[in-house]
Homo-oligomer: A and B are copies of this chain.
């Protein structure tokens, strides 16, 4: 168990921004909100999966919506707490511990905010080992965890209980238009799970990993060691490309930020082009029209000089970026999982997933 500090939050925000592959909502806004809570005297403890009791009542906490809207919409700040409380009211019992739905962007920090505001510990793990745009794309649901019940709230005080949905696709089907009605961003506490289930199907230690990634970036900024090598030394993976963003096509549709970006090579990549399609998160990368990485592996954009993660709502012409590919959790590499998180599930049936090689013991489990 460790208590989160002001500096931890900065590191987690950077690390989760990178692991979020463009999505999960603004990590910087999450950082500001959580550091504000710490400054006000709130605190939150992180516990490992092994410290969680098998019969503990747990739920994930996270935003749903379009990150393009998430950076503009004015929030109350208490939504993470309200979502947990709505679920507690419904089940008639307190929730014992919280969990990240995804270790990406602001959604790696939302459970920490909920933990600070409710006094509950947050488990060191998540249900994706990255960020993904849709709710069925979860190691818990793929492992057969229940997807009921969940609670969804907005900044006005509206609260809706997703009491019984037939499967995790129905959860996505109903939660998405609700989030659109909530102004394209809503807060979820989902679903009620036992500690035993969480231990079985979570991606382990990802809050710690995000912190390590962020600390590597911060250290490289201080020491001027090569930035991308610093990141890859804790995440595994490879550098795909480096260059300048020359085109961004982006639209906010159906509650998502969708689009495509083009990057012209610089340095050793001069004369080459990398193209990336995204739906909140980066999905497929084509180098000179050949696929070089795709979901469920992570395609991460970092500002070349600072290592700052670039989320999809921040993409703009002229940014100098380096693109890394990082191997995803093994839980997403099974045949069953790939039906839900592989390229075909995102509308790319012709893209074949070739798993990025992993170095033992580094990065996402």
- B-binding residues in A (CB < 8 A): 86, 89-90, 92, 151, 156-166, 170, 173-174, 177-178, 180-181
Contact = CB atoms under 8 A, between A and B. Distances in A.
Contact of A163 (B89, B92, B170, B181): B89
A141 to B, nearest CB: 16
A265 B60 CA distance: 63
Contacts of A86: 163-164
B174 A160 contact: yes
Contact of A174 (B164, B166, B181): B181
Q: Is the contact region of chain A dominated by helix, strand, or loop, or is it mixed?
A: mixed
Contacts of A89: 163
B173 A177 contact: no
A281 B2 CA distance: 61
Contacts of A156: 166, 170
Given A177-B177, A177-B180, A161 B158 contact: no
A103 to B, nearest CB: 28
A151 B163 contact: yes
Given A89-B163, A90-B163, A173-B181, 11 more contacts: A86-B164, A92-B92, A157-B166, A158-B164, A158-B166, A158-B170, A160-B160, A160-B162, A160-B165, A177-B177, A177-B178
A307 B291 CA distance: 67
A178 to B, nearest CB: 6
A156 B158 CA distance: 25
Contacts of A158: 164-166, 170, 174
A173 B189 CA distance: 21
19 contacts: A89-B163, A90-B163, A156-B166, A157-B164, A157-B166, A158-B164, A158-B165, A158-B170, A158-B174, A159-B164, A159-B165, A160-B161, A160-B162, A160-B165, A160-B174, A161-B161, A161-B163, A177-B181, A178-B178
A54 B238 CA distance: 70
A178 B174 contact: yes
A90 B173 contact: no
Contacts of A173: 181
A89 B92 CA distance: 12
Contacts of A151: 163
Nearest to A174: B181
Contacts of A163: 86, 89-90, 151, 159-161
Contacts of A164: 86, 157-159
In the A-B complex, list the 8 residue pairs whose CB atoms are closest, starting with the nearest.
Answer: A161-B161, A177-B177, A159-B164, A159-B163, A161-B163, A158-B165, A156-B166, A174-B181
Contacts of A165: 158-160
A160 B177 CA distance: 13
A90 B158 CA distance: 17
A28 to B, nearest CB: 30
Contacts of A160: 160-163, 165, 174
A90 B161 contact: yes
A180 to B, nearest CB: 7
Contacts of A177: 177-178, 180-181
Nearest to A86: B163
Nearest to A182: B174
A153 to B, nearest CB: 9
Nearest to A177: B177
